A = this chain, B = another copy of it.
């Protein structure tokens, strides 16, 4: 009786586990902090290390792609076109790798991750050197262990296990990896990079390995992220601060206007009161709400994570629904007039409002921008000049529960974890949406990190068992996905 594929995969992983973890430790030793210019060389070294490792893994193509002002050198024909949004600034390199299937009609999968990490210093509260990985209690402690090197790296052993279990020499899907080097710096050149390389990045489905699961005991798959539109409203009243005794109560005050805009942003049910804001919003189905409610959510614990004393949000929705599936309007900043010690009796000359809107499936950032502009302009009184600026928006991503690729991920995870896989979403917004936008491919999320991993915090860690579950999931996934998506004619 021959071994089951699952037991072949597990055996393969066990026999390569030590080398896999040693390799990951080598990578974690490179302090690829993209936000700190004195680590630029480390970020480049990290990209080179990964490209070499991917070639060693078997990827026939593994390239380091420059971004920003450096992009010209590596892209030949594109040199000097200035297509990058952040073309005027130097960028950190990304790594692209490709392993075509020997079946030319196999579907194409693009895996996204990043090789840069958050800053970390021993004095921030790390028990050990953040760039000297420590194995203890089944965990690896190091900056980047979970966010995101560990979660990128499980794909290397995963594809080898897939080949070992299936006897194939190439993956069942055309496998591509794009591992950027600026995610922790806000991905300033990412969209331009994706646009420039859209043909080489073309895929039937994108798998983002830069998120997490509900918990160690509740494995989950994330099905979407919210989008983001950001807006700054500058308000100008008197040409200079004027005396509130001589003029107060008789001329418009821009700080008052800023406050009134905030006051008008929501209705008494904490719904966003901007006309048209909810147009097209994909309402949660009863099935989706039931899936959220299945999760072992503890509001007290969530409040501790939120460092907050109470919940407050849109009436008729649970906390999870509010942060995962409902659009919001948030005041990120407000300022105007005198903010120092004591008092100053002025009508301020100007005020500033920074708003951001989290968007969900069905909302279009351009339409939101028009709605917000109309709403604000109608509320700014004559005598107050204004400037409303929107930054680049991020679209929401949401994969329907019945999407075959999502079901393939759930099946593969279920095999690896031996448990029912539940569904989550992500309240934040990320560069993955650019992949969806530019490549026109649905975005799926495959992450094995858990909240206790401490992303961006001291003593970041990854659970070795979960890391190996990630390896195992991808070992099953490529075959499942090829079957689920069928043959394509890309």
Q: Which residues of A contact B (CB under 8 A)?
A: 226, 228, 230, 232, 237-240, 242-253, 255-256, 258-266, 303, 306-314, 319, 322-323, 326-328, 330-339, 342-349, 351-352, 354, 356, 358, 381-385, 391, 426-429
Contacts and interface: CB of A to CB of B under 8 A. Distances in A.
Contacts of A381: 310, 312
Given A258-B259, A332-B337, 11 more contacts: A245-B429, A246-B306, A248-B330, A249-B328, A250-B312, A251-B303, A259-B261, A260-B262, A261-B263, A263-B263, A332-B346
A251 B333 contact: no
A344 B323 CA distance: 18
26 contacts: A228-B245, A232-B343, A238-B307, A244-B330, A246-B323, A246-B428, A248-B323, A249-B314, A251-B312, A252-B308, A252-B312, A253-B331, A256-B262, A258-B259, A258-B262, A259-B334, A260-B262, A262-B262, A263-B263, A307-B349, A309-B384, A310-B382, A330-B345, A332-B347, A334-B337, A344-B354
Contacts of A308: 237-239, 242, 247, 251-252, 383
Most buried by B among A307, A348, A358, A429: A307
A256 B349 CA distance: 21
A248 B343 contact: no
Contacts of A243: 428
Contacts of A259: 258-263, 265, 331, 334
Contacts of A228: 245, 345
A330 B319 CA distance: 36
A332 B244 contact: yes
Contacts of A253: 330-331
Q: How many identical subunits does the complex contain? A: 2
A140 to B, nearest CB: 24
A356 B345 CA distance: 7
Contact of A255 (B226, B331, B428): B331
A267 B400 CA distance: 46
Given A264-B263, A343-B230, A343-B391, A310 B250 contact: no
A335 B335 contact: yes
Nearest to A336: B334
Nearest to A262: B259
Contacts of A328: 244, 248-249
B354 A309 contact: no
Nearest to A266: B256
Contact of A348 (B242, B261, B332): B332
Nearest to A252: B312
Nearest to A430: B245
Contact of A245 (B232, B252, B427): B427
B356 A323 contact: no
A383 B263 contact: no
B248 A358 contact: yes
A319 B249 CA distance: 9
Contacts of A265: 256, 259
B344 A337 contact: no
A427 B246 CA distance: 5
Closest 10 CB pairs of A and B: A263-B263, A259-B262, A310-B383, A245-B428, A249-B328, A333-B337, A239-B307, A333-B338, A335-B339, A251-B308
A265 B333 CA distance: 20
Nearest to A356: B345
